[in-house]
A = this chain, B = another copy of it.
């Protein structure tokens, strides 16, 4: 569905969003533990996202990664596009070079519906919106 890199990215962003609500910056070691990912790998991923402006970072003691108010308004689709590109939202389900009504693959109609549902899922909530259920312990970022 999405790359492993992207899965880590989303989980990390959701975790950072939680902490950012209380204005806490969080280090890469802490993040890696919270989402169960390889520490240097999630570091790389977040540096890339930071360069792209999806989150902020600060060096030195008390430093770490955090989200500003604009950042907290992002949705999961924003992260997916930044990491994997938009093929999940526009590509053909059977791998034709492009998806279009003109020369549709056998599952085109149904696949368009699936894609729309995925898009809705990933656009209907901001990172911020996930905070309460995470805080209440109803939802988890690792297992």
Contact = CB atoms under 8 A, between A and B. Distances in A.
B141 A121 contact: no
Interface in A70-119: 76, 88, 91, 93-98, 103-108, 110-111, 113-114, 117-118
Using C-beta atoms within 8 Å of the partner chain, give the interface range for chain A: 35 or more
B97 A1 contact: no
B94 A106 contact: no
Contacts of A110: 121
Interface stretch (A26-34, A46-54, A60-68, A132-140): A132-140
Nearest to A124: B110
A114 B106 contact: no
B107 A133 contact: no
A53 to B, nearest CB: 23
A10 interface: yes
Interface of A: 1-2, 4, 7-8, 10-11, 14, 76, 88, 91, 93-98, 103-108, 110-111, 113-114, 117-118, 121-122, 130, 133-134, 138-143
